[in-house]
Amino acid sequence: MAMEPMLLETMQQQVEEQCQFALTAIGGMNGCLGAMTELREQGAHRDMQKQSEVTDQLWFFANAFLTAVANIAKHLWPGRRLRKDVREAFPDRGVELRASLGVPDESPLDSRMVRNHFEHADERLEEWWIDNPQHNIARRTIGDARQAISLGPGMEMTFHSQFDPDRLTISFLGDEIELQPLADAISELYERATQATDPSVQFEKRRAEALERRNIEAEPT
């Protein structure tokens, strides 16, 4: 069955909130990138403490961003539910919510591979330990994810997580996600979600629906 208007609006509010969190994280990442540029220009990049502080902040905001995007995707493209009654009650919840917010099926927000790596980082570390016999790992690196580190013949490096400030990508175990398309999609979605949950817009919508029902009922049979 279709969602009741109140449930749909609550879902829209959830999406709006997560979009706001994601946009806040984007602002934080931009601030960190600006701080990195200043450090290089001032020659302060040799100050390892300052560099470490900025790097920590960058990864904090990156994780916050990916978490918010994952939460948005869970609302728009719901996965398997454990409760049968809930699954049967709202079989088209994702379709309805996406339609109400104008989200296309091919939206970049539905790309989950890199986000899943971060969410299941513990499992990925176990896999790395088994798959990389030398146990060489590079974590939270900043730079070009396409540039390999040579360790010598027969040696292999596992890139656990990497941020490329020039190409604006985050990669995890070789899988890469572009941040700008996500940021653009979230900005557009936030505007639509904000409008959808605006009290004045909702009032006018319900008023129009009530007038339409009244006119239909008033038509002679």
Q: What percent of the chain has pLDDT over 90?
A: 40
pLDDT at 218 over 60: no
Query: Average pLDDT, whole number, for the chain?
Result: 83
Q: What per-residue confidence (pLDDT) applies to 72?
A: 94
Q: Which residue's structure tokens are 């069955």?
A: 1
Q: Secondary structure of the chain in the HEC alphabet?
A: CCCCHHHHHHHHHHHHHHHHHHHHHHHHHHHHHHHHHHHHHCCHHHCHHHHHHHHHHHHHHHHHHHHHHHHHHHHHCCCCCCCHHHHHHCCCHHHHHHHHHCCCCCCHHHCCHHHHHHHCHHHHHHHHHHHCCCCCEECCEECCCCCCCCCCCCCCCEECCEEECCCCEEEECCEEEEHHHHHHHHHHHHHHHHHHCCHHHHHHHHHHHHHHHHHHHHCCC
pLDDT at 175: 80
- More reliable by pLDDT, 54 or 42: 54
Work out the pLDDT band at 1, boundaries 50, 70, 90: low
How much is the pTM? 0.81
Name which residue leads in pLDDT, 197 or 87.
197
The pLDDT-based confidence of 8 (bands split at 50, 70, 90) is: very high
Each residue's pLDDT tens digit, 88-134? 888 889 999 999 999 998 899 987 776 777 778 888 888 888 888 88
